[in-house]
Structure 1
Amino acid sequence: MRALSHKLLRDLSVLRGQVAAIAVVIAAGVMTLIIAVTSLDAIRYSQQAFYRDYHFAEVFTELKRAPEHLASRIAAIDGVDRVHTRVIAPVRLDVTGYDDPISGQLISIPDGNQPPINRLHLREGRLPASGRADAVAVSEPFAEAHGLRAGDRLQAIINGQLETLTVSGIVLSPEYVYQLGPADLIPDYERFGVLWMNRRALGRAFDMDGAFNSVTLTLQPGVEPAPVIAGLDRLLDDYGSLGAYARDEQVSHRILSQEIDQLAVMAVILPGIFLGVSAFLLSVLMGRIVRTQRQQVAVLKAFGYSNAELVRHYALLTALIVLVGLGLGVAAGAWAADWVAALYMQYFRFPDTRFEVRPQVIALGAAVSGAAAMLGTWRAVREAAVLAPAEAMRPPAPGVFRQGWLDRSGLRRWLDQPTRIIFRNLGRHRLKASLSVLGIALSVALLLVGSYQFNAIDELIDTQYRKVLKMDAIVHLNEVTSQRAAAELHHYPGVRQVEPFRTVPVRLVHGLHDYRTAIEGMARRPALRGLIDGAGGQQELPAEGLVLTDYLAEHLDARPGDLIEVEFKAGHRRTVDVPLAGVVAEPLGVGAYMARPALNRLMREGPAVSGFWLAFDRQHEQALYRELRDVPRVAGIGLIRRAETDIRGYIEDTALGMMSVMLLLAASIAFAVVYNSARIAFAERERELATLRVLGFGRGEVAWILIGELVVLTLMAIPLGWLLGTALAWILTEAIAMDMFRIPFVISRQAYAFSAAGVLAAALLSAVLIAPRLLRLDMVTALKSVE
């Protein structure tokens, strides 16, 4: 074995603790990269395959009622490839053994056949047989939530008539990868289901024989949806069209796309943080190795070893550390990717989900971690290459010592000799101390970022469900009705308060930006619906004008005073300019609000309402549900308490799933950084500490010089770490914001305290591990030169 190989193995043995610490940091970066990229690959692959194989629509529209013969005219629009007209209708369901209200969506399919667009993937059973009026195919998430199998029965109120339906099959649809109810923010599989029924049976039930109220299209290759949408709107405008929209505005696709974008951000930010820290640690470690081995380098050069051989030697040492970290990261990432994938598959349903760690992903992890490591160590390796043998054989020139701030301040009289040594050493080696502080500060920042979102989730839930949604339930009606219906609801069991609201689908346009949503009309200061300003205070709706959530206002690039073009997609389908009167801060959903009388005037209607908010006594909950379930006009009932539980579970499973992994890794990295700093300091000052022992310093005093310096560096790093962590938390908060929810940028005192306590605990553990070396310091060996 060559001499450099012997030296490499000896260095690895001596540095095994530091090598392990840095390998953990590299493993963390590789692990997060593999988790994010593998999940991203799997979801993208599953999405593209499902959309392609089952002909997911590219343009959608709903309308009141149109004759079937219009289908040929729709097909004649330039750019249209396929057309599928259908009937869709809301339905209320009743499953044996489940007492809560269940709403659903009925969708027609050609009798006994697959639809040409948005085809169904059969998981079990078959599609409804031709001629069967009572058979339905049921979405898999709803079937799983209620334990339904092919052949089971359930009851449904279809257009006011109680019917018994038979489940013919269990299916998945590309239209409902993310199965969301009309007024839901997250999937509620127990209380919302999608059912597919033969076209003839569904059309007859809703007086739609020879007519349709929904159209889906696919487009010819290379055709943009905008001109097709314009032509479709012109054709269907007289038939109560709600306005056509492209795939990117379809709810399921939009949310899935945002999740993919969020994963893509995570695939860059989190691995970048961890691998950046590993590059920094390797830079410090390799710099220390070259400095302490300068005499060895000189001897090797004197014996004929070339600069290239020495560069390869130190580069190989770095590569071996990276290899250890890569192996750990790949193993941990492959295991964790399955776990993260399982979380996502609870909400996004595909026929085939292929989660595998591809060789390309491992190669990417190796390339990124290797590049970060080599970038971090290049300066130290280059220093070894250019070191002249004659200069290297001499010890480094001693520094120029002068009185520092400690001596001039007069504080030295209050400090013992070891403590004075600590502060003088920090003052005389400012660059080295600054690098140590920066390394520890990065670990504080990671701990802060990993922990702050747990408190932020509590803030999100408290804001949305204590200050914004103060009602107990939301009752949605099948059709617009008079506000006088509120008087009837007051007589239902347990009802304490009723407030009406009016919801109108719209497209909001400002400049080059637009957004498809709904305006919610309500009382100017409703008792059951809060409007929160940026400071958390309650806000009153203006008598005229529009109020938007801050997220929507930012999307539209609109500010109070701007005119917003409002395209109403219901009623008279007017387009009017409405001033933006204010902005409210809501963490969930995307909303637009107006005073209900003003909205009714814009709609050119009387005091019409779309539903009601209810406050009721909990002991009458089930009795109230039973009463409302029998009201034909009620399309669905949203339970706020259940929604709160569901949204908390969703956020904890998805966003906090990754954050939990990050917190665990941050804790290990905090220890790795602090322990590495302590070991490097000990290795650099072992000779100096032995000299102090020879001069009469006790073991405890010598130990305090090193450990006390670590304590001071840690205390100095905590405020800087808080600043870095706060900035990083803000970047992450902005990066993962989406239509469904925005985690508020709120960092609690507990999060700051946790990050400080975590790094102090790491410092304490490092001190405990290094103390035995200090106490067993061999003065004779330490004072020898190492050749």
Structure 2
Amino acid sequence: MSPLDRKLFRDLRRIRGQAGAIAAVIALGVMMMVMMSGLVNTLDETRQAYYDRYRLADVFAPLTRAPARMVARIAALPGVETAVGRVVGSALFDTPKGELPIRARALSLPDPDQMRLNAVYLTAGQWPAQGSENEVLLLEGFAKARGLEPGDGFTATLNGVKRGFRITGLAQSPEFLYTTPPGEMVPDDARFAVFWLPRAAMAALYDMDGAFNEALVALRPGAAEPPVRLAIDKLLDPFGGTGAYGRADHPSNRFVSEEINGLRTSATSVPPIFLAIAAFLLYIVISRMVQAEREQIGLLKAFGYSGLEVSLHYLKLVLTIAFAGALLGAVAGIAAGNGMAVMYQTYFKFPFLVFSVDPASFVIGFAVAILAASGGSLLVLRRVFRLTPAVAMRPPTPPDYSRTLDLAHLMRRWLDQPSRMVLRRITRYPGRMFGAVIGVAAGMALSVSTLSMMEGFNTTVDLSFSVMDRSDMAVSFALPRGEDAVLSLRRTPGVLSAEPVRIVPAILRNGPHIYRGSIEGREPHPRLNRVIDHNARPIDMPPAGVILAQPLADILHLKPGDTLIVEVREGRRPVLRIPVAGIAQTLLGAPAFMSRAALNRALKEPGRVSGAFLTVDQAQADRVAARIKDMPAVAGVSRKDDQRAALIELMNTGPGSVRFIMLAVAATITFGIIYNAARIALAERARDIASLRVMGFGKGEAAFVLLGELGFVILMALPLGLGLGQGLTYLIVVGFSTDIYQIPVVHDPAAHGMAALAVLAAALLSGWLVKRDMDRADLIAALKTRD
């Protein structure tokens, strides 16, 4: 081992505190990169493998009713490889007395060996007998949420007919990775059922003997989807086709894709912040080490070591710390990514998991860590390379403080000697102090942004279910009805008020930008389910024009004054051109709103409603639920409290749980930065502190001289950290927001206060650790010149 390598190990042992803190920061950055990229890769590959293995359709084409012969005509279209017709229908899953009915989706089930598309994965039990009329497969997620098993029975209303069924097996399907009740955006396994019946039983229940009401299509490799969809629409238009759509617009796949895209954005934006902070810390450590070791550098060069060899020695020190941190981060990233992938497997109902960490994430993680560390040090090593032995072995030229304002001297009447020492060092080394302030402020900004993001999640819940939705229940009808249906609801004992709504499925267009959604017709002055602007003020419905949610306006690239093209997929299916009247803030989904009267006029269907929002007497809530449950026109009922609980669960146990990891990482980095600053100050001034002790200063006074500087740095970093945190909050929130839910940028004083307290706590702990080392220091050894 060469002398320089032995010196390297001695230096690492001597600065093990700083080196460990910097390696930890690098490790956390690499961990986040490996974890997130591995999670994205795992989810993407698992989804694709599931889709391929169980042959999820490329195109879905719902319609009213078409004869079975049309399936062959669809299959003969250019670009189509396989076409299948099936029967689907809405249903109500019966519940015990006092509970609201559960909305359900029923699907026809061919023989297992005939499932050419959208195959079902049997997880328990057995397949229903093909001749059976009451045997079903039940979606596993719903069955577990409701405590149902193969052999159990239930009743459900299908097409107005209530029947009893027996569960023969539990199943999963690639088209139900993400299940939400109709009209809602948040998944809730307990409130939405999916079950499969033999094809003959479904055909009999929905009057589809020799017919189908949804076509599933697989495309040939390389075939373009848009021309195929247009051709299918042309074929099925006479049969009530509501518009074919691709896999990208399928609700389940779209929600999974949004989550993967959000993780991908976070994976590219968050880890570089941590690595940049690590590079800055390494720059400070190496810069101060080189300054302290001028004489040693001069001696090394005098003994024949070249400037390049000495520079490489210090570069080895940097690379050793960076490599150790990157290696630790890679191992931790694999473990964390595996744990997160298992959580997502449960959340998205994957029957298997293709865990895969992209090798590129390791290469990128190591490369970025080493480059970031090296980049911060090369500026310092350039000085080492240029330093000549004669210059290095001479003491550095004493700095000239004659032109510096001596605040310590001016304030000598009010400050004692240790305080003047602290103030004099601060004013004489402003650049060094500024660097320390920036480092601590960066750590605090991470804590501020993470806490603010968590407060943004809470704000999403509060605005959605307290400010906007002030109802207790939402009722939807099977078909649009007259306003007398709302009057019947209002006359129901226990119902305090009812506000009608008209929801029309539609394809929304603006040139090449398309979104498959709906138009919601509201009352002129909504009270129970309000539309708000970005200042949380209610918006009244204009007599003409549409109000777009901000996410929808962004997707369609529209602003007030532009024209929205609406292709209605209900009734006569007209094509409407409606001016955009305004932009609203919605934190769940991407809806569009307009006056119910104006919408009905445009559709030439006056006085129609699709449902209503209700407020009820809570003492009679169970009776209200029972009465509404027996109304034949009602297709579904949902409680606001159930939706709120589902959203909170989504944010705490689903994708939103990533924020807890980020909070832990931010707290660790903040402590690492502050501890590093304290350790660097101690290493830099160990000789000065020992001299003060020998001259008669007590341990407390000597500690005050050192830690007073740290206290000043912390106080200056607090306001700067708050400002940096606000900007960083915006970047992180953008990465986490999706079409499912949007996280508002919230600058909450409580979050800022908690971040400041965390910084102060980290400073107190770091100060205590440093003071403990000071008290244990050997004064003789500290005063000796180090060889």
Q: TM-score, normalised by structure 2?
A: 0.96
| 1:461 maps to 2:461 | yes
Task: Kindly state the Cα deviation for residue 146 of structure 1 after the two structures are TM-superposed.
Answer: 2.0
Query: Residue 531 of structure 2: SS of its match in structure 1?
Result: coil
| 1:295 maps to 2:312 | no
Does 713-722 or 506-515 show the bigger shift? 506-515
Give, in whole Å, the separation in 1 of the partners of 2:271 and 2:114. Answer: 44
Alpha-carbon distance change, 252 to 144 in structure 1, aligned in 2, over 3 angstroms: same
> What does the per-residue CA deviation read over 1:724-775, in whole Å, with 9 as the maximum and x for residues that have no partner?
1111110111222211101110121011111111111111111111123444
1:5 alignment partner AA:
D
| 1:741 maps to 2:734 | no
> What does the per-residue CA deviation read over 1:69-103, in whole Å, with 9 as the maximum and x for residues that have no partner?
22222222221111111111011113569944211
Aligned to 1:138: 138
Give, in whole Å, the separation in 2 of the partners of 1:151 and 1:90. Answer: 23
| 1:229 maps to 2:229 | yes
Task: Kindly state the Cα deviation for residue 525 of structure 1 after the two structures are TM-superposed.
Answer: 0.9
Give, in whole Å, the separation in 1 of the partners of 2:668 and 2:396. Answer: 35
Query: Residue 571 of structure 1: SS of its match in structure 2?
Result: coil
Query: Residue 538 of structure 2: SS of its match in structure 1?
Result: coil
Aligned to 1:530: 530
Alpha-carbon distance change, 97 to 72 in structure 1, aligned in 2, over 3 angstroms: same
Aligned to 2:496: 496
> What does the per-residue CA deviation read over 1:574-624, in whole Å, with 9 as the maximum and x for residues that have no partner?
112111111211111111111111111111112111112111122222222
Aligned to 2:713: 713
Task: Kindly state the Cα deviation for residue 378 of structure 1 after the two structures are TM-superposed.
Answer: 2.4
Give, in whole Å, the separation in 2 of the partners of 1:493 and 1:406. Answer: 82
Give, in whole Å, the separation in 2 of the partners of 1:350 and 1:98. Answer: 33
Give, in whole Å, the separation in 2 of the partners of 1:517 and 1:357. Answer: 35
1:658 alignment partner AA:
V
Aligned to 1:625: 625
Aligned to 1:371: 371
| 1:418 maps to 2:410 | no
Whether the 8 Å contact between 2:98 and 2:626 is mirrored in structure 1 is no
Give, in whole Å, the separation in 2 of the partners of 1:704 and 1:341. Answer: 49
Whether the 8 Å contact between 1:112 and 1:130 is mirrored in structure 2 is no
Give, in whole Å, the separation in 2 of the partners of 1:297 and 1:663. Answer: 42
Give, in whole Å, the separation in 2 of the partners of 1:631 and 1:116. Answer: 39
Aligned to 2:212: 212
Whether the 8 Å contact between 2:407 and 2:423 is mirrored in structure 1 is no
> What does the per-residue CA deviation read over 1:341-385, in whole Å, with 9 as the maximum and x for residues that have no partner?
233223212221133556664444333322222222223334333
Give, in whole Å, the separation in 2 of the partners of 1:399 and 1:634. Answer: 85
Alpha-carbon distance change, 286 to 97 in structure 1, aligned in 2, over 3 angstroms: farther
Whether the 8 Å contact between 2:41 and 2:358 is mirrored in structure 1 is no
1:229 alignment partner AA:
R
Task: Kindly state the Cα deviation for residue 316 of structure 1 after the two structures are TM-superposed.
Answer: 2.8
> What does the per-residue CA deviation read over 1:113-151, in whole Å, with 9 as the maximum and x for residues that have no partner?
543111111212333222112121111211221232333
Aligned to 2:601: 601
Query: Residue 222 of structure 1: SS of its match in structure 2?
Result: coil
Aligned to 1:315: 315
Give, in whole Å, the separation in 2 of the partners of 1:233 and 1:161. Answer: 31
| 1:107 maps to 2:107 | yes
Percent identity reads: 37
| 1:480 maps to 2:473 | no
Whether the 8 Å contact between 2:565 and 2:577 is mirrored in structure 1 is yes
Whether the 8 Å contact between 2:345 and 2:352 is mirrored in structure 1 is no
Matches within 5 A, 1:755-774: 755-774=755-774
Give, in whole Å, the separation in 2 of the partners of 1:410 and 1:534. Answer: 52
Aligned to 1:782: 782
Whether the 8 Å contact between 2:46 and 2:355 is mirrored in structure 1 is no
Whether the 8 Å contact between 2:550 and 2:585 is mirrored in structure 1 is yes
Task: Kindly state the Cα deviation for residue 277 of structure 1 after the two structures are TM-superposed.
Answer: 1.2
Whether the 8 Å contact between 1:471 and 1:528 is mirrored in structure 2 is yes
Alpha-carbon distance change, 304 to 112 in structure 1, aligned in 2, over 3 angstroms: closer
Task: Kindly state the Cα deviation for residue 403 of structure 1 after the two structures are TM-superposed.
Answer: 4.3
> What does the per-residue CA deviation read over 1:44-64, in whole Å, with 9 as the maximum and x for residues that have no partner?
111110111111111112111
Aligned to 2:158: 158
Task: Kindly state the Cα deviation for residue 255 of structure 1 after the two structures are TM-superposed.
Answer: 0.9
Query: Residue 486 of structure 2: SS of its match in structure 1?
Result: helix
Aligned to 1:636: 636
Matches within 5 A, 1:288-687: 288-355=288-355, 357=357, 361-407=361-407, 410-411=410-411, 413-687=413-687
Structure 1 residues not aligned, in runs of 5+? none
Give, in whole Å, the separation in 2 of the partners of 1:319 and 1:304. Answer: 24
Query: Residue 752 of structure 1: SS of its match in structure 2?
Result: helix
Query: Residue 36 of structure 2: SS of its match in structure 1?
Result: helix
Alpha-carbon distance change, 537 to 415 in structure 1, aligned in 2, over 3 angstroms: same
Give, in whole Å, the separation in 2 of the partners of 1:110 and 1:80. Answer: 21
Give, in whole Å, the separation in 2 of the partners of 1:472 and 1:113. Answer: 46
Aligned to 1:188: 188
Whether the 8 Å contact between 1:111 and 1:128 is mirrored in structure 2 is no
Structure 2 residues not aligned, in runs of 5+? none
1:641 alignment partner AA:
D
Give, in whole Å, the separation in 2 of the partners of 1:55 and 1:723. Answer: 51
Alpha-carbon distance change, 748 to 756 in structure 1, aligned in 2, over 3 angstroms: same
Give, in whole Å, the separation in 1 of the partners of 2:170 and 2:85. Answer: 23
Task: Kindly state the Cα deviation for residue 26 of structure 1 after the two structures are TM-superposed.
Answer: 1.6
Give, in whole Å, the separation in 1 of the partners of 2:88 and 2:72. Answer: 20
Give, in whole Å, the separation in 2 of the partners of 1:23 and 1:486. Answer: 65
Task: Kindly state the Cα deviation for residue 411 of structure 1 after the two structures are TM-superposed.
Answer: 4.6
Does 89-98 or 622-631 show the bigger shift? 89-98
Whether the 8 Å contact between 1:112 and 1:198 is mirrored in structure 2 is no
Aligned to 1:71: 71
Task: Kindly state the Cα deviation for residue 711 of structure 1 after the two structures are TM-superposed.
Answer: 0.8
1:244 alignment partner AA:
A
Whether the 8 Å contact between 2:501 and 2:610 is mirrored in structure 1 is yes
Whether the 8 Å contact between 1:95 and 1:146 is mirrored in structure 2 is no
Query: Residue 196 of structure 2: SS of its match in structure 1?
Result: strand
Query: Residue 170 of structure 1: SS of its match in structure 2?
Result: strand
Give, in whole Å, the separation in 2 of the partners of 1:81 and 1:345. Answer: 31
Does 16-25 or 490-499 show the bigger shift? 490-499
Aligned to 1:198: 198
Whether the 8 Å contact between 1:242 and 1:505 is mirrored in structure 2 is no
1:529 alignment partner AA:
N
Give, in whole Å, the separation in 1 of the partners of 2:390 and 2:654. Answer: 60
Whether the 8 Å contact between 2:341 and 2:355 is mirrored in structure 1 is yes
Aligned to 1:173: 173
Does 314-323 or 19-28 show the bigger shift? 314-323
Coordinate RMSD, CA, aligned: 2.1
Give, in whole Å, the separation in 1 of the partners of 2:691 and 2:399. Answer: 17
> What does the per-residue CA deviation read over 1:665-690, in whole Å, with 9 as the maximum and x for residues that have no partner?
21121111111111112222233334
Whether the 8 Å contact between 1:501 and 1:609 is mirrored in structure 2 is yes
Give, in whole Å, the separation in 1 of the partners of 2:108 and 2:477. Answer: 22
Q: Number of paired residues?
A: 787
Alpha-carbon distance change, 493 to 361 in structure 1, aligned in 2, over 3 angstroms: same
2:763 alignment partner AA:
A
Whether the 8 Å contact between 2:408 and 2:421 is mirrored in structure 1 is no
Give, in whole Å, the separation in 2 of the partners of 1:66 and 1:656. Answer: 43
Alpha-carbon distance change, 81 to 359 in structure 1, aligned in 2, over 3 angstroms: closer
Task: Kindly state the Cα deviation for residue 528 of structure 1 after the two structures are TM-superposed.
Answer: 0.9
